[in-house]
């Protein structure tokens, strides 16, 4: 009888591993039940998503600025107050603005009362040209500086005022040139020429008066719409904007020191709530109050160029906020921008705006209303299909430009090329190459070989 020899522990371990390998080979190994799972092609809903970062935006925001240097005479609101359109928020005491108005009116009255500030024996041709040059330089400088006003609505209003004044001056200047030409030709009178030059001068002086009057009216700051108040605000980004029409016609007293359109001009410094109080000094252009209309919130999302062509107006989205754990909100695309922005990781992205709907917490309760400026992640439902033939995403194997699934026929794997439709995170629509109910490999598909025997 042969004696038994015990194997050392290391040999036992090797033998155990060899036996395990043989058993795996007999049952399909890693491609058997442990790795390969069989399922069936069935119908389901498939939603293709595009994820993008986003921020909450208010319906409207307006930063109201001091139109002139002075002090805050009275402050009627505090941070967080709700206000209505037209409500007085603050008043500013500005001796310089009132003095400016007085000087502008004096200059206008001087032209109107004297017929024209033209010394005897003056060359009217040269005088008229000088008036044109002064006006042209003043309007050009006014337009250049007005273009720096950060608020689009205010900028457009000021530029429109300048354009109107320029048009009025061109018409008056043309009449003055014709009158001077007739005088030089011996066909007109000095009185007619002087009257025409005076009319051109008055275009400038009247524009200066209107602008100064608007500045004084703007010392009473009112809410432009219903909203929530925040004291102070950001810097305007435009400095040194006073005195743009200081170049009044030659010989007139003083200057208007203001823009046509009544812009709130000046250094435009940023102001925090602590620096806005009754009696506090203020410079022209400084932020006094910011009003935010939160009646309707929207989202601005940055969608990558590789995805933006799939996003269209009306696409629905699910929204999540870091500030609202477990909350999900609804949204809908209202616009897709055409201007590219440089993406942080290279490439470009495009702005997509969405209207923000209500939110629901994971427990079923209503989610709190987000605030403007909050960060969010939107999942845009760019392609939604209901009740379509579909398979799990794990069943799809990419082979070059083809997409394949492994169909189980006669207990063996058969390669099948399929056409795909909407592609969700976990489920993919199959539009051709597969029939409902067919048995397929739904897990471990990347390890299956043609003709491989698969357990039923």
pLDDT in tens, 268-307: 667 778 889 999 999 988 999 999 999 999 999 999 999 9
pLDDT of residue 139: 79
The Cα 214–Cα 261 span in angstroms is 8
The Cα 105–Cα 2 span in angstroms is 130
The whole model's pTM is what?
A: 0.63
- Token readout for 84 is 């209505």
pLDDT of residue 372: 93
pLDDT (tens digit per residue) in 181-230: 777 777 777 777 777 777 777 777 788 888 888 889 889 999 999 999 99
- CA dist list (Å): 19 to 25, 92, 96, 454: 10, 93, 99, 21
Q: Which long-range contacts (CB under 8 A, 24 or more apart) does 166-173 make?
A: 166/139, 168/203, 168/207, 169/135, 169/139, 169/200, 169/203, 169/204, 172/196, 172/199, 172/200, 172/202, 172/203, 173/128, 173/131, 173/132, 173/135, 173/200
The Cα 46–Cα 424 span in angstroms is 6
317 - beta bridge partners?
A: 331, 380
The Cα 380–Cα 336 span in angstroms is 12
The Cα 130–Cα 269 span in angstroms is 37
Residue indicated by tokens 């203020």: 282
Helix, strand, or coil (residue 432): strand
Residue 307 backbone class (left: φ over 0; alpha: ψ -120 to 50; beta: rest): alpha
Beta carbons within 8 Å of 142's beta carbon, 6+ residues apart: 162, 244, 245, 259, 260
For 130-173, the DSSP string reads HHHHHHHHHHHHHHHHHTT-SSHHHHHHHHHHHHHHHHHHHHHH
Residues of the chain with confidence (pLDDT) below 70: 1-34, 113-122, 150-151, 236-269, 344, 456
The Cα 157–Cα 263 span in angstroms is 8
- CA dist list (Å): 212 to 148, 153, 156, 160, 208: 20, 20, 18, 16, 6
pLDDT of residue 236: 65
The Cα 95–Cα 413 span in angstroms is 91
- Token readout for 244 is 């743009």
């Amino acid at each position: 009888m042969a004696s038994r020899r015990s194997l050392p522990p290391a040999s036992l371990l090797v033998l155990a591993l060899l036996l395990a390998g043989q058993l795996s080979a007999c049952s399909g190994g890693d491609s058997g039940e442990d790795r390969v799972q069989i399922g069936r092609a069935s119908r389901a809903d498939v939603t293709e998503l595009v994820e993008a970062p986003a921020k909450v935006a208010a319906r409207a925001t307006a930063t109201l600025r001091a139109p002139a240097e002075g002090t805050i005479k009275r402050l009627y609101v505090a941070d967080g107050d709700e206000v209505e359109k037209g409500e007085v928020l603050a008043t500013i005491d500005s001796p310089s603005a009132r003095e400016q108005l007085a000087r502008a009116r004096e200059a206008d009255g001087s032209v109107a009362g004297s017929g024209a500030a033209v010394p005897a024996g003056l060359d009217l041709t040269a005088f008229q040209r000088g008036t044109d040059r002064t006006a042209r330089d003043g309007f050009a400088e006014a337009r250049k500086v007005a273009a720096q006003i950060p608020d689009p609505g205010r900028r457009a209003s000021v530029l429109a005022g300048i354009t109107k004044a320029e048009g009025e001056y061109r018409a008056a200047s043309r009449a003055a040139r014709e009158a001077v030409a007739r005088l030089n030709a011996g066909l007109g009178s000095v009185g007619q020429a002087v009257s025409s030059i005076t009319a051109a001068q008055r275009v400038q002086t009247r524009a200066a008066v209107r602008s100064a009057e608007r500045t004084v009216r703007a010392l009473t700051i009112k809410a432009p719409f219903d909203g929530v108040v925040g004291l102070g605000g950001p810097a305007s980004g435009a400095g040194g904007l006073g005195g743009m029409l200081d170049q009044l016609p030659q010989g007139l007293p003083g200057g208007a020191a203001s823009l046509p359109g009544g812009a709130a001009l000046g250094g435009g410094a940023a102001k925090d709530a602590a620096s806005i109080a009754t009696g506090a000094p203020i410079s022209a252009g400084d932020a006094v109050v910011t009003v935010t209309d939160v009646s309707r919130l929207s989202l601005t999302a940055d969608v990558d160029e590789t995805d933006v062509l799939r996003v269209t107006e009306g696409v629905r989205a699910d929204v999540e906020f870091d500030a609202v754990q477990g909350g999900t909100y609804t949204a809908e695309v209202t616009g897709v921008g055409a201007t590219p922005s440089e993406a942080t990781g290279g490439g470009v992205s495009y702005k997509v705006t969405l209207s923000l709907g209500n939110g629901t917490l994971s427990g079923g309760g209503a989610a709190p209303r987000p605030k403007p400026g909050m960060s969010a992640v939107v999942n845009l439902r760019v392609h939604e299909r209901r009740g379509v033939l579909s398979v799990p995403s794990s069943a799809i194997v990419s082979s070059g430009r083809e997409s394949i699934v492994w169909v189980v026929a006669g207990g063996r794997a058969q390669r099948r090329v399929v056409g795909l439709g909407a592609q969700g995170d976990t489920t993919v629509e199959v539009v051709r190459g597969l029939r409902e109910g067919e048995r397929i490999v739904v897990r471990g598909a990347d390890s299956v070989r043609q003709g491989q025997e698969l357990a039923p």
